[in-house]
Structure 1
Amino acid sequence: MSSALNNQTRAAKAPPSWLVLTAVALVAVNLRPVLSSLPTLTSDIVATTGWSSATIGVLTTIPVLCMGIFALTVPALAMRFGRKHLVILALVSLSVATLLRAVEAVPELLFLSAFLAGVGIAFVAGLIPGIVREQLPHALGRATSTWIAALMVGAALGGALTVPIAQSLGSWSLALAFWAIPALIALAAWTFTERNSPAHDRPSTTVRIRELPWRNKIAWALAMSMTLNSIIFYSSLAWIAPSYQARGWTQENAGWLFGLFTSAQVVAGFVLVALAVRIKYRRTLFTIAIVATAIALISMAWLPDFLPWLILLILGFFLSGTFAMTLGLISEYSKDSASAARLSAMTFFITYTVAAAGPLIAGVLLDYFDSWSMVFTILAGIAVLQLLTVLPLRRNVHVD
């Protein structure tokens, strides 16, 4: 009887589903502005610091690398501190990371900012699939598409608004620090939402590295697909705006082109995820998206002035749509929150640890060849390789 009473008390304290979903969306929105805001101001940062392209690439490499390495720590930390408290810690880390960018007199703090941002993103990305599966089990598809779309909204806002904010404030560092505001709002919303949630929100079992699905072919196919996609995405995120500035576009116009690239991701988060759930031949959809990505990259390499607004819309839509579809498969391929935690940890570790090298290598190639055409052609080749990884991603399977 005591157990039943405790269960009723916990159920009564649990926040309503719509409030949880809203809080999750607000948290997800803040996972990308810290990454997408910086590339649009690369020329200002270089003018202040004199850093090379390779050094600028490191600013994107560090958070992505941290996202991979710290993904392995999420299950153990969730067991130790609880999911809701770990999300709070992640949002604090993101807020501090963004605020550090305000110190223009010490630009080296950008590297510490990149580290803290990567840690915060790793924690949240590793927790959300399990939180969604456990707290919103009857709305899994809607919840997954909502938080993925929110992720894309954050990227779009960071890419499109940072240059106008910098022009308004007269400071690139304050424009980067501006994105601490939505992070603090998300922190307040999450704290309010989860204040009445059950005290015991830890995973039922801990996840050890040796227990991750290292021998599962589906898990490896999913990880490799996300890895190749993320190499292209983070390299594009770091270098699209600088490439158009180098080809004669103004900083503002290059920023708007970059904004189109990130804005298209919002639509992709809703449309392609919804299609992937409903259509029978999902691998055909993956193939179309990947081929379109490769064609867009080839156009950027050799025909940069040919309808760039359309090309960047296509690239943003299909590149991010592919990522969103594979991200949604983590919940689909998981039996419960524990298996989601294991699959998330393995997938994110492989994906981000390898993909972190993308922006840095692109910067090194640019310094060596002095050719944007070479950089984007190589990225198109990586897209072609991704076609091989989607073949095993069939329906009605579980990774355990």
Structure 2
Amino acid sequence: MSDTNNKTNSILILITIFAVSINLRPAITSIGPMLETIRNQLSLSNAQVSLLTAIPVIGMGVFAMLSPILNRLFGLKRTMYVMLILIGLMTALRGFISGYFILLSTALIVGIAIAITGPLLSAMIKQNFPNRAASVIGVYSFGMGVGSAASAGLTAFFFESTKSYQFALSIWSVLAIIGLVCWFLTMRGHIEVSQKNSNEKKGISMESASPWKSKKAWLFLLFFGLQSSAFFSIITWLAPIAIASGMTLLQAGTLLSVMTTVQIFLNILIPLAMERFGSRRFWLLFMLISGMISIVCFWTGLYPFMWVGAFIMGIPLGGLFPVALLLPLDKTENAQDANAWTAMMQTGGFMMGGLLPLVIALVYDYTMNHHFTFIIMMALYVLMLILSFLIENKGQEMST
């Protein structure tokens, strides 16, 4: 009976991780297909409208370190309730109040809520599934991929159906209701992320307790930042690039949907494959080379190659995030340290990820040429390729 209860609880936790994680991208990724529409209707520059995706991602970086602090002060249960409610309310608010300021302020608050939620989910995974972290990270990233794919692909459809970008952006608040219901059902078991382990009780100092002093943690941060920059740059700018190449808004949205559909399947398939077959370096090289090939396809501006590029780009978008999340889980010994290392990694990483789409916008405003956009994107993948050679095959240690 006890084994049955444990299995039921594990399944419920997995469903809840998925239900919470689908809320961690739509408020950001739904902006991409609406970038041109919002810019035109509100008379904004490319840099101004790009802030709508840059601000929440930068906020995710700046406030990620609040996650372990709030967990200590209020516990996992209360903290996650508040974060899900904030994500839902801020997303819904976009449908009732118009204007650039409300879009910007809701984006910032959503970014803060996501910043705190992400490391807590990683800590839950470390605590409840210590021997299956790769597989469960796949569930986490799969949920994020579903949220990204749905919002990237359907936001343009909702706009075409209603002619209201406000409705198209705010509809994603319904996902928060799903997350809250699942969280309520799971929290009846009073699951919390423990704050101490046996070693700490005995007074033994753990190296991973101070990630800011670790060279490995800084390398993790850099890799996470590069993959985050690549992800948000592609998600934000692929639709405007496609429109600039002559596609309609609906075609550009479909292109984005193809890419994110491939992504969501690989979000879970690549972690499972890494757990069973081969070294992580092999998978890293496969994903990074795929990303470079995809950028070349986009760069041609030819429709057939752009569709092929969208399909191929789903490979790195689907695999690099879970690989990055696994780095601190491999290194740490307990849930508390996993929370701290993940928060540290995401602090700098998301700040990088938020700035790059803004840099692209500033460069494009100045040059009105997307060739520079592709140069920046290609540079991100080249840097990740170089960094991947510092990662050992098992992803547990990095060369110093």
TM score, norm. by length of structure 2: 0.90
Written as runs of structure 1 = structure 2, the 5 A alignment for 1:312-391 is 312-391=310-389
8 Å contact kept, 1:229–1:386: yes
Amino acid corresponding to residue 156 of structure 2 in structure 1: V
Q: What's the CA shift for 1:105?
A: 3.3
Aligned partners of 1:290, 1:141: CA distance in 2, in Å? 19
Question: Which amino acid counterpart does residue 232 of structure 1 have in structure 2?
Answer: A
C-alpha distance 14-317 of structure 1, shift in aligned 2 (>3 A): closer
Whether contact under 8 Å (2:98, 2:166) holds in the other structure is no
What SS class does the counterpart of residue 113 from structure 1 fall into?
A: helix
CA distance in 2, matches of 1:14, 1:340: 23
What are the Cα deviations for residues 205-256 of structure 1, in whole angstroms up to 9, with x where unaligned? 89xxx95323333322222111111111111111111111122111111000
Q: Structure 1: which amino acid aligns with 2:337? A: S
Distance across 2 between alignment mates of 1:314 and 1:236: 13
* 8 Å Cα contact 2:93/2:170 also seen in 1: yes
How far residue 139 of structure 1 moved from its aligned partner, in angstroms, is: 4.1
Structure 2 counterpart of 1:183, which letter? Answer: A
Q: Is the 8 A contact 1:145 1:328 kept in 2?
A: no
Query: RMSD of the alignment, in Å?
Result: 2.5
Specify the alignment match of 2:205 in structure 1.
none
Q: Once the two structures are superposed, what CA deviation does each residue of 1:54-78 show, in whole Å capped at 9, x if it has no partner?
A: 0111111111111111111110110
Structure 2 gaps of 5+ residues are 201-207
The aligned residue for residue 282 of structure 1 is 280
User: Which of these residues, 78, 96, 101, is aligned with residue 94 of structure 2?
Assistant: 101
Equivalent residue in structure 1 for 2:164, among 167, 171, 184: 171
Q: 1:43 aligned to 2:36?
A: yes
| Aligned twin of 2:203 | none
The aligned amino acid for 2:166 is S
Q: How does 1:67-82 map to 2 (within 5 A)?
A: 67-82=60-75
The SS at the match of 1:118 is helix
Of 379-388 and 304-313, more deviation after overlay is shown by 304-313
Offset, 1:297: 1.1
Matched, 1:26 2:23: no
How far does the alpha carbon of each residue in 1:79-117 deviate from its partner, in whole angstroms, 9 at most, with x for none? 000012111111011111201211353332000111111
State the 1:50 CA deviation.
0.6
Q: Which residue of 1 aligns with 2:143?
A: 150
Give CA deviations for 1:138-173 in whole Å, capped at 9, x if unaligned: 543332211111111111111111111222233110
Relative to 1, partners in 2 of residues 1:388 and 1:398: Cα closer, same or farther, differing over 3 Å?
closer
Deviating beyond 6 angstroms after TM superposition, the runs of 4 or more aligned structure 1 residues are 11-15
Cα gap change, 1:282 to 1:137, in 2 (>3 Å): closer
- Match 2:47 to one of 31, 34, 54: 54
Match of 1:130 among 123, 127, 130: 123
Change in Cα spacing, 1:339 to 1:222, as seen in structure 2 (3 Å) is same
Q: Which amino acid aligns with 1:116?
A: I
Across the two proteins, how many residue pairs are aligned to each other?
Answer: 388
Q: 1:159 aligns with which of 127, 140, 152?
A: 152
Deviations 1:312-350 (A, max 9, x none): 111122233122222223322221102201210111011
Query: Can you give the 5+ residue segments of structure 1 that lack an aligned partner in the other structure?
Result: 1-8
What letter corresponds to residue 89 of structure 1 in structure 2?
A: V
Q: Flag the 1:256–1:167 CA change in 2: closer, same or farther, 3 A.
A: same
Normalised TM-score (structure 1): 0.90
Letter in structure 2 aligned against 1:204:
K
